Structure 1
Amino acid sequence: MVSAVILLADGTEEIEFITPYDVLTRAGFQVKSVGVDLKTSNYATCSRNARIVPDVPSAKSIASDSPVDILVLPGGGPGAKTFCGSSEVLQLIRKYRQADKYVAFICAGTTALVASVNDAGSGNLGMKCKVTSHPSVKDEIVKAGWDYADESERVVVDGKVITSRGPGTAMLFSLTIVECVLGREKRDEIAGPMVCAEGLMKTVESVKK
């Protein structure tokens, strides 16, 4: 069975967490949500005040685990800042990339990808790629020397790095993850019963750059 780890912090954007969790589960992934520096060990208070209980309360609990098929980081400004400030998260991102596993970031979550490479002593300064993010953090990413996609590109796939722009792109982001890992047939299989809009039925080839 394919597996995914999705990180969760206080201030995470609900839509960007729930949508990939839901869609990947429909596609047959074994999905595990992992809390990062939560104020309470019981739940995360998200950006619109929804409370979500992670499957695993702390990223420290999975720090030594072998990478699974994909690591997913949602956005939400406060949650993304927590990810960027967590040594466990930055190490986890580097571990996945070094193992040639997929990593996916949406909205401000992309800043954690940037931090994992630009972090002093990371030794991964050659791992920059083409990305997108929420417009509010674009300048930060560009100043860090990353190749930033045109704003018309709602999801960007560069090798095994998948990035997307915000809450409104969460479904396309999630379907793209499914296609990257399991193929177009599986993507179509789950998109149909969800009655996805025609514009969401594009293939990875149409978003890959």
Structure 2
Amino acid sequence: MPKALILIADGTEEIEFVTPYDVLTRAGFEITSAGIKLGNERHAHCTRNVRIVPDHPTLQSVPPQSAHEFYDILILPGGGPGAKTFATYDPVLDLISTFRKAGKWVGAICAGTTALVASQKKNGGDKGTVTSHPSVEKEVKEAGWDYGDQGERVVVDGKVITSRGPGTAMLFALTIVEKLCGKEKRDEVAGPMIVAEAL
């Protein structure tokens, strides 16, 4: 089964972290979470005051060090302050670039898309079509990225999956399952969760 690395910082949106972690676990993924510049060594203080303990307190403590060779997808949740941490922290920007250059998947939701944009600005590489939370849409467009239609809650362009916000986290997670494991696995996971057909 695929392996996923999901990042978390102080100010990460908890729904956008927990939902992919939960759904991908149900699909059989091996999930690892890593804290990024946490103020408290044990937990991330998220946007709605939920505290989450990542599997590893720092990115540097995640084994193995060649993460792009071990993991199949890197996931960047949003939440304004957390996304800003990702987008201004060189090890995260370099990790995103390494995943993309290796042909691995990168998923970003809400303001997490700004880290994808910042990584491309720092390290080069292809731009593409993405979506994000409306609050950072202008920033994404001004960086020269194509922006998905307003009605698209998830945009897939090559090996990049982006989504809009907390209310699209379930669709984001199920899209990751479908792209890495197939529609049959997505349906198998969605059924017992009683996912709304409109999703």
After TM superposition, the score normalised by the length of structure 2 is 0.96
Q: CA deviation at 1:85?
A: 1.1
- What CA distance in whole angstroms lies between the structure 2 residues aligned with 1:192 and 1:86? 38
Report what 1:173 is aligned to: 172
Report what 1:108 is aligned to: 111
Alignment root-mean-square deviation, CA: 0.9
Other structure's SS at 2:34 match:
strand
Structure 1 stretch displaced more, 56-65 or 21-30: 56-65
Q: CA deviation at 1:65?
A: 2.3
Report what 1:34 is aligned to: 34
Report what 1:159 is aligned to: 158
Report what 2:142 is aligned to: 143
- What CA distance in whole angstroms lies between the structure 2 residues aligned with 1:84 and 1:156? 20
Other structure's SS at 1:198 match:
coil
Listed as ranges, the gaps of 5+ residues in structure 2 are: none
Listed as ranges, the gaps of 5+ residues in structure 1 are: 201-209
Q: CA deviation at 1:143?
A: 0.4
Structure 1 stretch displaced more, 56-65 or 107-116: 56-65
- What CA distance in whole angstroms lies between the structure 1 residues aligned with 2:41 and 2:67? 24
Q: Which amino acid aligns with 2:66?
A: D
Q: CA deviation at 1:96?
A: 0.5
1:137-173 per-residue CA deviation (whole Å, 9 max, x = no partner) reads 0000000000011110000000000000000000000
1:1-209 aligned within 5 A:
1-62=1-62, 64-67=65-68, 68-119=71-122, 122=123, 124=124, 126-200=125-199
- What CA distance in whole angstroms lies between the structure 1 residues aligned with 2:9 and 2:169? 17
Q: How many residues align?
A: 196
**How much identity, in percent, do the aligned residues show?**
64
Report what 1:205 is aligned to: none
Q: Which amino acid aligns with 2:11?
A: G
Q: Which amino acid aligns with 1:173?
A: F
Q: CA deviation at 1:64?
A: 2.6
Q: CA deviation at 1:66?
A: 3.3
- What CA distance in whole angstroms lies between the structure 2 residues aligned with 1:118 and 1:31? 28
- What CA distance in whole angstroms lies between the structure 2 residues aligned with 1:66 and 1:190? 26
